[in-house]
Structure 1
C-alpha cells in the first residue's frame, strides 16, 4: 500500500479529529484514514466540481418502476418499518402516517414512492435534482420528520459532520435517520474496491464510524442488516 508523502495529517470530516493520517495514494489521488471513527476519505482537493459531479449522476438509471432497484431499496425500507413498529413507548410509529424525508433522492425518487405506497408522507431533497431548501430548513423543519432516509448518499458527502448535524435537528423525538452505504472493511483491497472507483464516492464508513456519530449526537445506533444503520433520536 503506497501512502502519499506529500500530505500531512488533516482534520477528519466526520468526527473532527485533527490527526487523520495519509492512508494511500491511488493514481494521484490521496486518501486519509481517521483512527478515531475509522473512515477512509478522499482529500478535498480531489473532489469533483459541481457540474462534473452532476454529469456523473445524470448517467444513473434509477427507474422508479424497476423491480430490481425497488428490491435494493427495500433492504433499507423493510427493516426500517419493522424497527419503527417495535417502538416500546406506546403507539407504534408505523400505526400512523409518518413524515419522512428522502434526503439525496436523486432524479428518480423510487424510495419516496415506496414510502408513500406504505401509507406515509415523504418530502424530497437533492442538491442537484430536487433542491427544495424548505424541506431541510433547520428553522422551519426542526423536529419535523419521523424518518430521514439516506440511501447511497453518505458516501458522497463532502462535509458529512455538518450534514448529519442538520439532519439530526430535522428529526422528531424518537425519529430515525436510516442510512445505507457500503461499509469499508478491508484496507488491503481498498485500491481495487469497486465502491472506491466511483469518482463521486469520497468517504467510506465502517460500522464504528456510525457508533462514533451516534455518540456525538446522543443517538441510539442499530445495524439491522449489512450496510444499513439506523440512528434513533431519544424521545421527549
Structure 2
C-alpha cells in the first residue's frame, strides 16, 4: 500500500508510523496527525450501525467516560477558572427531564 495523503492538511505521502494487529498508521510530516489509510476506515453503513448501539445520555456511565477521555487533552491546558466553567456547561444536568 502506498503512503496515503493526510486527511487534515492534504499533504501527500504521509509515511508509516505504527502497525497494530488491525491496521497500519501513518503520521503526516507537516501537521503530525496520526491516522489510518481510508482502506481501514469503516463503511458509512458499518459506522451508522455502531453509532446506533450507543446511548448518548448523561445517565450513561459509558458515555460520560467517553466524554471525559475525549475532553482530557483539552481540559489539561485550561486554567482552573476555565476548567470549572467547561465542566459546568459541558454536560447536561442529570435530571429525569433529560
TM-score normalised to the size of structure 1? 0.27
Residues 1:226 and 2:76 aligned together? yes
Secondary structure of 2:48's counterpart equals helix
Secondary structure of 1:48's counterpart equals coil
Residues 1:57 and 2:51 aligned together? yes
How far apart, CA to CA, are the structure 2 residues paired with 1:10 and 1:46?
12
Segments of 5+ residues of structure 1 without an aligned counterpart are 1-6, 76-151, 153-179, 184-222, 229-236
Higher relative contact order by CA 8 Å / sep ≥ 6: 1 or 2? 1
Are residues 53 and 70 of structure 1, via their aligned partners in 2, closer, same or farther at CA, if it must alter by over 3 Å? closer
Runs of 4+ residues over 4 Å off in structure 1: 67-73, 180-183
- Once the 2 structures are TM-superposed, how far is the Cα of residue 27 of structure 1 from its aligned partner? 2.1
Mapping of 1:20-35 within 5 angstroms?
20-35=14-29
How far apart, CA to CA, are the structure 2 residues paired with 1:59 and 1:227?
32
How far apart, CA to CA, are the structure 2 residues paired with 1:18 and 1:26?
23
Give the alignment's Cα RMSD to 1 decimal: 3.3
Q: Which has the higher helix share?
A: 2
* Aligned positions, number: 77
- Once the 2 structures are TM-superposed, how far is the Cα of residue 33 of structure 1 from its aligned partner? 0.7
Secondary structure of 2:17's counterpart equals strand
How far apart, CA to CA, are the structure 2 residues paired with 1:45 and 1:32?
13
Are residues 30 and 227 of structure 1, via their aligned partners in 2, closer, same or farther at CA, if it must alter by over 3 Å? farther
Mapping of 1:33-182 within 5 angstroms?
33-63=27-57, 65-66=58-59
TM-score normalised to the size of structure 2? 0.57
- Once the 2 structures are TM-superposed, how far is the Cα of residue 71 of structure 1 from its aligned partner? 9.2
- Once the 2 structures are TM-superposed, how far is the Cα of residue 62 of structure 1 from its aligned partner? 1.9
Contact 1:20 1:32 in 2 (8 A): yes
Segments of 5+ residues of structure 2 without an aligned counterpart are 79-98
How far apart, CA to CA, are the structure 2 residues paired with 1:44 and 1:21?
14
Secondary structure of 2:53's counterpart equals coil
